[in-house]
Structure 1
């Protein structure tokens, strides 16, 4: 995102288009705008920094806007999906089925059938899923391609959301994998790989380095004694982006530098295996903004409230109701007053009839008026699709890839 000079103010620019023109293109507020150049720059940075041969998969749940998915189909090596809807998005974007992985603890019967018929790699998360896949393969006359999603036997710290280690609905406990591998021998399925997802939204390089090394060690241990080398090892992602004051970007160079040691060992032990990183937020999170307008301004109890036409029904994460324990403000600006000096502290709220509908608390802002643009940065991931869009029946937010 950058500032573009206009006749009266410096205004926010997304994808080289200033905010006024973006609003005109959208037709109204609220809207999300995603910058394809920023997405491309992030992918290029990863390609230039990570060791050669490391594959990049996009986790569609981060942002399933069709235009974003179609654009990324030309940039990444595969997709990871969690539903039949995301599966259809991946295939319609032109990604070959063999480069799509289907994860999730609650895969339905129909979803499994569609995945098997399409040739997608199903990431098994239980013995029951193995039995269902086997039965559906017999029914369809197809040998299903499966990977085992492993709940790792280690814990990580400094992670925004822990996805493995300990009791969890995700994956098969590492201690139970050998038994499941023995069961596989009696099933007519093809073992494509392993999937180890340890956590997400991690900004601490040493934590990522340790988790990747442990994940690689786990894959080597589990694959020991297999008749054939699995095609791939999906080691998850975990790469975070800074949202809040005091947070620093992940040191990607440090993570990449540490990968060489365990990558060499993994490739020597399991010749020909492809190593994949599954990233979502890290690819698109910083490339998006959410824009709404101030529609009212009021003072209550000595505090100034700016009421907008947006809210948590579009951007639940910004309201703090998508996993925050202690509510903190996303980075936020008045998009048509970027260089005005802060003059007051305000609470920015949405249009819903609930006290939970807060977009920012006690934030310093320039003198802000009805009609001004409130812009929430870092909004390219887990925005509209992760929000209760039908709550109270307000208009949906428009989405644009620019």
Structure 2
């Protein structure tokens, strides 16, 4: 029997039976028993597959879809995603090792990010990974390493565009940035690539992330294609690839509306024929992380005790910001807002109360839910934080106060 669902929780992503959340086709309580301890992250492979299918449905078929591993580098998740997408994008040597352990062709793996070490570069060059160059200095290091290894490195130019993605949660381009080569300097960089005889693949132009406004993304796509066409004129050969980034956002907080993916796809279908006139041989890539995995994941902690302080109920759990920094509000939120949270084994619950969910850390920042309406919980009940499939465990200070690490499972 399905229970009524609290409106604030994105439960359309998960089934509820007998007032208990279902994850990976099983009740949360049974999943917790199988995992053996809390806290843990659970990622639902069916939800991951459904999200990729949704993108395939709405985006033009010639668009290649890449998974940005920084959103969730758990090896089992990456292995699953590698069977669904057309390429992987990495941002560290550690992610590179995980990516190279998948069936993905290394030539469809691209490596972005400033400050790549020589060891990272050697591994990428040896494997045939495409290096998105962030600076002219990095280009010179890549060329020198490739010469010593007698391998012609595959490279792309990460461009810092002369525009920003409006309404983005985090701006990755426009103005001065540590990311990419300023657009106005790219022609000179292309000349130097020719002199160094590097194997030039194309451009990576990424201007922002976590955007829920289709109009802003549409405008960014149009500006990105125009910039790429302008810069490609400075290269004597064809542009093989153009990574236009992603930036597709998901709703985390009450009042946020889902991105109109159909509108984004329709706009791409409209403008791509014109792009093909200038870049006929170019493979267009959209790189997404959060949009692919965030809504497929939950974070689960267990209530240790109920505490009432001057009329305020606190549910003290064995999880907290050391495992899920973003849910605590300390991963970029200017004003703290609650992620969607439920008591997973009492999703609706007959008796409701206003409570705050806190962790075991000795800091008032250890707050997973601030005065939310929840089912009345008791010690042993399971607290679930939704929208937790991206920037969760790997983006958190797991060593803070030396509490045990959270587990991760793909179900």
- The TM-score bracket by the shorter chain reads over 0.9
**Aligned mate of 2:268, from 259, 272, 289:** 259
In 1, Cα distance between equivalents of 2:349 and 2:318: 23
Give 3-state SS (helix, strand or coil) of 1:264's partner: helix
Q: What are the Cα deviations for residues 145-166 of structure 1, in whole angstroms up to 9, with x where unaligned?
A: 1000001101232111111001
Gaps of 5+ in 1: none
Deviation at 1:341, TM superposition (A): 4.6
1:72 matched to 2:81: yes
In structure 1, what is the equivalent of residue 163 of structure 2? 154
In 2, Cα distance between equivalents of 1:81 and 1:28: 31
In structure 1, what is the equivalent of residue 8 of structure 2? none
In 2, Cα distance between equivalents of 1:30 and 1:254: 39
In 2, Cα distance between equivalents of 1:383 and 1:334: 19
Deviation at 1:237, TM superposition (A): 0.3
What does residue range 200-349 of structure 1 map to in structure 2 within 5 Å?
A: 200-341=209-350, 343-349=352-358
Give 3-state SS (helix, strand or coil) of 1:29's partner: coil
1:2 matched to 2:11: no
Deviation at 1:130, TM superposition (A): 0.6
Q: What are the Cα deviations for residues 329-364 of structure 1, in whole angstroms up to 9, with x where unaligned?
A: 000000011122562211110111111110011111
In 2, Cα distance between equivalents of 1:33 and 1:318: 15
Give 3-state SS (helix, strand or coil) of 1:25's partner: helix
Q: What are the Cα deviations for residues 271-325 of structure 1, in whole angstroms up to 9, with x where unaligned?
A: 1210000000000000000000110111123211110000011100000011111
CA contact (8 A) 1:159 1:200 kept: yes
CA contact (8 A) 1:216 1:262 kept: no
**Aligned mate of 2:181, from 172, 176, 192:** 172
1:128 matched to 2:137: yes
In structure 2, what is the equivalent of residue 96 of structure 1? 105
Deviation at 1:226, TM superposition (A): 1.9
CA contact (8 A) 1:30 1:292 kept: yes
Q: What are the Cα deviations for residues 186-217 of structure 1, in whole angstroms up to 9, with x where unaligned?
A: 11201101000110000000000001111111
1:56 matched to 2:68: no
Aligned length: 399
In structure 1, what is the equivalent of residue 3 of structure 2? none
Please identify, of 254-263 and 336-345, the stretch whose mean Cα deviation from structure 2 is larger. 336-345
1:187 matched to 2:193: no
In 2, Cα distance between equivalents of 1:183 and 1:318: 45
CA contact (8 A) 1:342 1:364 kept: no
Deviation at 1:20, TM superposition (A): 1.0
Give 3-state SS (helix, strand or coil) of 1:194's partner: strand
Q: Structure 2 vs 1, CA of residues 366 and 4 (structure 1 numbering), >3 Å: closer, same or farther? A: closer
Q: What are the Cα deviations for residues 160-179 of structure 1, in whole angstroms up to 9, with x where unaligned?
A: 11110011101111111111
**Aligned mate of 1:18, from 27, 41, 61:** 27
In 2, Cα distance between equivalents of 1:251 and 1:63: 24
Deviation at 1:2, TM superposition (A): 2.9
In structure 2, what is the equivalent of residue 83 of structure 1? 92
Give 3-state SS (helix, strand or coil) of 1:329's partner: coil
Q: What are the Cα deviations for residues 346-399 of structure 1, in whole angstroms up to 9, with x where unaligned?
A: 111011111111001111112111111100000000001111111111111111
- Aligned CA RMSD, in angstroms, stands at 1.0
In 1, Cα distance between equivalents of 2:102 and 2:243: 21
In 1, Cα distance between equivalents of 2:15 and 2:99: 34
Give 3-state SS (helix, strand or coil) of 1:255's partner: helix
CA contact (8 A) 1:293 1:370 kept: yes
In structure 2, what is the equivalent of residue 368 of structure 1? 377
Deviation at 1:4, TM superposition (A): 4.0
In 1, Cα distance between equivalents of 2:351 and 2:325: 26
Give 3-state SS (helix, strand or coil) of 1:318's partner: coil
Gaps of 5+ in 2: 1-12
